[in-house]
Structure formats: structure tokens, C-alpha cells
Amino acid sequence: MFVDQVKVDVKAGNGGNGMVAFRREKFVPNGGPAGGDGGRGGSIILQADEGLRTLMDFRYTRKFKADNGGNGMIKQMTGRSAQDKVINVPLGTVVTDADTGKLIGDITEKDQRLVVAKGGRGGRGNIHFASPKNPAPEIAENGEPGGELTIRMELKVLADVGLVGFPSVGKSTLLSVVTSAKPKIGAYHFTTLVPNLGMVRLDDGRDFVMADLPGLIEGAANGVGLGIQFLRHIERTRVILHLVDMSGIEENDPFDDYVKINHELTSYDPDLLKRPQIVVATKMDMPDAADNLAKFKVKLAQDNTFETVPAVYPISAITQQGLTALLAQTADLLDKTPQFPVKGVDDVEHRDYTTDANPDFKVENPEEGLYVLSGEKLERLFKMTDLNHEESLMRFARQLRGMGVDDALRAAGAKNDDTIQILDYAFQFMD
Ligand SMILES: Nc1nc2c(ncn2[C@@H]2O[C@H](COP(=O)(O)OP(=O)(O)OP(=O)(O)O)[C@@H](O)[C@H]2O)c(=O)[nH]1
Ligand SMILES: [Mg+2]
């Protein structure tokens, strides 16, 4: 299978709670506040591991959780920070948010790390809330909840070499004779619907991964045929083998075909033509092939798509003619060609799941005198409130007012002494 994919639940650790404490004895305010901060919760981090080739391991383990930070302590002592949870994944893993479909990142480099869920920061202890007006605050924050989400991981094997060309030029046939892959081969167009991969091994010990891509046609870059989703795979290959059918059975001019395919590549991304390209003249066992190739070469010599005219390698997959020379040349080019960066991924900003909470909230009035509040940011602020201390609660009340919650409650009809509920906690509305 070319694409392997799994869904995994990740939960970063919550920050530890801040503490309310005072120097010397508890509740002797003149000693001053001394409650420490909570420690940071562990994050969930994906790490590239070159030794892995599949996402198989995730078929059995689908949940990952990092530890919570330790709570703050007396004498201004900060709670311990939790260790990050590091998950090894193969190169070529693309990570998206399973709920929104948004790209989180792409693991393409050795030793690369990607934070997928951030640990919550520790809540602040009461030392942070002292002010001239309130020198002995009974306010502390609970730790911030760690990020929690379902990620989808998709493994896109990074092929070194991509076979590109019109339908039926013999891409799958070539792959089947130079690797142990068994792609479907047919005398009709669009036999190949998804890319096939194979490993080419040369006698001199070199090897590389070859991908047989679905045929391209005119307009592929704009979504015609199957092309566009696979052009993305070409982006990742280092050398392009451009196959051109010389048999004449399709009744197209081979040079015309060649120009059209390059046009599709460059319309999708002009950088694709910077990939080293080898022209492979296929089906050379057919009667008219030699003549067609000679005409093709004349036109190619006058073409200036590339700075230097690409080399042409005539082959026949049936008689196996020309294959050794083609593969040796491909391996030589690979030795000289660096990895190309995948575009549009490194600069993707990924959502900060903990601090980016949606500020919208909802007021519901399920029965007379009861108002239920919900919403991501509001619930997060609530979870960070230390309910054991009146002053912390009042701070929360001020935060709600700042968000416009009081006004919204009034607008919904809430009156003095009505019950306001958030998650499993209820309190009285005071207008
Ligand atoms: N005579 C001859 N026929 C070939 C050769 N290579 C492939 N063919 C034939 O060409 C037809 C198309 O071959 P495929 O390998 O399926 O072509 P493809 O480029 O993968 O086509 P799509 O997957 O549809 O894009 C089949 O009937 C093959 O048997 C060759 O070297 N010589
Ligand atoms: Mg095919």
C-alpha cells in the first residue's frame, strides 16, 4: 500500500496548580504570600526515526498521554515540570488535525521534531497576585489544561524517482521489470489509479525507490484527469523519468506529448522543471519506434525548455533493451541531487491548542432561573480557577465580565439569585 494512515488520540499534560500559602503560619497574612507556581505539563512530540518504515505500531497503540506538572508548594517552591512524551514516526509522515483537516506538519527530515499537543503551563501561586492594595492575596491559578486532540498521520513514502508521462506510455510496465512491484498493466488509459512503489537495486549495491504515477493529460495541473493530487508526489521526487511512447500506436506525435507533459509540470509548479529529468523513449521493440525516435531527437535538440537538452534513453520493457544503462544513469543523477524541501509545509503555522481557545461562549436557559454557560475559552479559564479561595473566584468573575458574559446573561434574562452553571459547578448570579 502506498499510503498508510492512522488516527491517534493525544493528550498533553496539564500544568500543575499554583498554591495559596503564606510565610510562617497559614492565614497569618503579615508573613506575605509564599505559594509557589505549578510546573509545566508534558507536551506530545513526534520525532523522525529513520529506522521506521510504516505506521504499523499505531495499529495497537492509539492513545498517548503526557504527565501533568507538579503542583506548586509552600516557600515559593515551583512544582516539577513533566517530561515530554516523544513518539517516533517514520520519515514521510504527514500530520493533520483529524477534526478540522488542518495540516499540523510534515516529518521530512532526519531528527526532526514536531510538537502536536502542547503541555499546559503551570498555574501561578499567590506570590504573583500580591499588590499594594492586596498584599496577602488568597488567589492562585490552577494549571492550564494540556492540549488534547485526535491527529491523523499519513505516511507518504518519499520516492527518489518518479515516472511521469501520458497514460499507456509504459510506466507501470517499466516499474514491474526493474523492481519486484506488481502494478496493474493494461492497454487502456488510466490503468494506474494510485502511485505504486518499488525498490530498484543495482549490482553495484546502490538502490533507490521508484514511483509509478498515474498518467498525466493536458489540463492535469488544473485538475483534469487524475493528475493534480499526484503532482504533489512528484514534488517530493529527486529525479524525474519522463516516458515518451515511440511506438506510434497512440497516433500522437511523441514530441508533442513531451512538450505537453512539461507544460503541465511547470503550470503546477515551475520548480518541477528544475528537477533533473531523463527522457525515456519507450516501446523501442515496435516497428516504427526507431524512426519516431530519430524525428523526436531532431526536435528535442531545438527545444529550449531546459538549459541543457536532456539525455534520451531508449528502452523496451519487453526485450529489456536499454534498462541497465537507464538505471545506472538514474543512480548517478541521484548521487548528485540533493533532497528538495517540500513546499507549503514548513511555513504552516500550526494551531496552539492551549492558548488559542475560541473566545465565543454560549448562554442557554434550559429552565426558569437556570442559565448554563459553555465555550472553550470560558471553560479553560474556569478550569484554571482555584475554587477553594473566594478571591480566586472573584478573579474569575472579573474575567467573565471582561469577556462580556455578564451582559450576555442579563440580555438572556438572568436576574439576581438565578443559578449560573459552568460544567459541573453552580453559583448565584449577582447583578
Ligand atoms: N511493445 C511494447 N509494449 C509495451 C511496452 N511497455 C508497455 N507496453 C504496453 O503498453 C500498454 C500500457 O502499459 P502500462 O505500463 O500499463 O502503461 P502506463 O503508462 O502505466 O499507463 P497508465 O497507468 O494508464 O498511465 C500495455 O498494453 C503494455 O503491455 C514495451 O516496452 N513494448
Ligand atoms: Mg500505469
CB 189 within 8 Å of CB 214:
no
CB 116 within 8 Å of CB 44:
yes
CA distance 145 to 355: 10
What separation in Å is there between the alpha carbon of 244 and the centre of ligand 2?
13
Please indicate if the annotation marks 70 as binding a ligand: no
According to CATH, what is the number of the domain 161-336? 3.40.50.300
Please list the residues that pair with 326 across neighbouring strands. none
Probe target for ligand 1 pocket from 164, 171, 173, with the most ligand atoms within 8 Å of CB: 173
Ligand nearest to the CA of 183: 2
CA distance 372 to 365: 6
Predicted local distance difference test score (pLDDT) of residue 352: 45
Burial of 383 (C-beta count, 10 Å sphere; 0-12/13-18/19+)? middle
What separation in Å is there between the alpha carbon of 213 and the centre of ligand 2?
7
Predicted local distance difference test score (pLDDT) of residue 347: 34
Please indicate if the annotation marks 168 as binding a ligand: yes
CA distance 274 to 333: 13
Ligand nearest to the CA of 285: 1
CA distance 431 to 429: 6
Q: Which long-range contacts (CB under 8 A, 24 or more apart) does 408-417 make?
A: 408/361, 408/363, 409/363, 409/371, 409/373, 412/363, 412/365, 412/371, 413/365, 414/371
What separation in Å is there between the alpha carbon of 210 and the centre of ligand 2?
13
What is the CA 4 to chain-centroid distance, rounded? 14
Whether 354 lines ligand 1, by a CB cut-off of 6 Å, is: no
CA distance 57 to 119: 24
Assigned C-alpha cell, 65: 498521554
CB atoms under 10 Å from CB of 205, counted, come to: 6
Q: What are phi and psi of 240, to 5 degrees?
A: -105, 130
Predicted local distance difference test score (pLDDT) of residue 351: 41
Q: What are phi and psi of 299, to 5 degrees?
A: -65, -40
The fold for domain 362-428 equals: GMP Synthetase; Chain A, domain 3 (3.30.300)
Please indicate if the annotation marks 169 as binding a ligand: yes
Predicted local distance difference test score (pLDDT) of residue 348: 35
Assigned C-alpha cell, 249: 500506436
Q: If you take atom 30 of ligand 1, which residue's CA is the nearest one?
A: 283
Whether 170 lines ligand 1, by a CB cut-off of 6 Å, is: yes
Predicted local distance difference test score (pLDDT) of residue 412: 92
CA triple 162-163-169, angle to 5 deg: 170
Supply the pTM of this predicted model.
Answer: 0.58
Burial of 349 (C-beta count, 10 Å sphere; 0-12/13-18/19+)? exposed
Strands (E), 202-298: 207-212, 239-245, 277-282
CA triple 283-285-291, angle to 5 deg: 85
Whether 217 lines ligand 1, by a CB cut-off of 6 Å, is: no
Q: Find the helix or strand (DSSP H, E) in which 225 lies.
A: none
Whether 285 lines ligand 1, by a CB cut-off of 6 Å, is: yes
What separation in Å is there between the alpha carbon of 230 and the centre of ligand 1?
19
Predicted local distance difference test score (pLDDT) of residue 158: 67
Whether 189 lines ligand 1, by a CB cut-off of 6 Å, is: yes
Q: Which amino acid is at 110?
A: K
Q: Which amino acid is at 133?
A: K
Unique residue bearing C-alpha cell 502494478: 183
What separation in Å is there between the alpha carbon of 315 and the centre of ligand 1?
12
The CATH superfamily label for domain 1-155 reads GTP1/OBG domain (2.70.210.12)
Tens digits of pLDDT across the chain (431 residues)? 344 678 999 999 999 999 999 887 656 556 789 999 999 999 999 999 877 877 878 878 889 999 999 999 999 999 999 999 999 998 888 899 999 888 898 888 888 999 999 999 999 999 999 988 888 899 999 999 999 999 999 877 667 899 999 989 999 999 999 988 888 888 888 777 777 778 898 999 888 889 887 777 777 767 666 666 666 667 668 899 999 999 988 788 999 999 999 998 888 888 888 889 999 999 999 999 999 999 999 999 999 888 888 999 999 999 999 999 999 999 999 998 876 655 444 333 344 444 556 778 999 999 999 999 999 889 989 999 988 888 888 889 889 999 999 999 999 999 988 999 999 888 888 87
Probe target for ligand 1 pocket from 2, 163, 166, 168, with the most ligand atoms within 8 Å of CB: 168
Looking from the CA of 355 toward its CB, the CA atoms found within 13 Å total 8
Sequence ranges of the domains in the chain: 1-155, 161-336, 362-428
**CA distance readout (Å), 39 to 11, 66, 74, 102, 228:** 17, 13, 14, 30, 48
Q: If you take atom 9 of ligand 1, which residue's CA is the nearest one?
A: 170
Ligand nearest to the CA of 323: 1
Q: If you take atom 21 of ligand 1, which residue's CA is the nearest one?
A: 168
Unique residue bearing C-alpha cell 514511483: 211
CA distance 201 to 197: 13
Whether 283 lines ligand 1, by a CB cut-off of 6 Å, is: yes
CA distance 242 to 312: 10
1-155 and 161-336 have identical folds: no
Ligand nearest to the CA of 261: 1
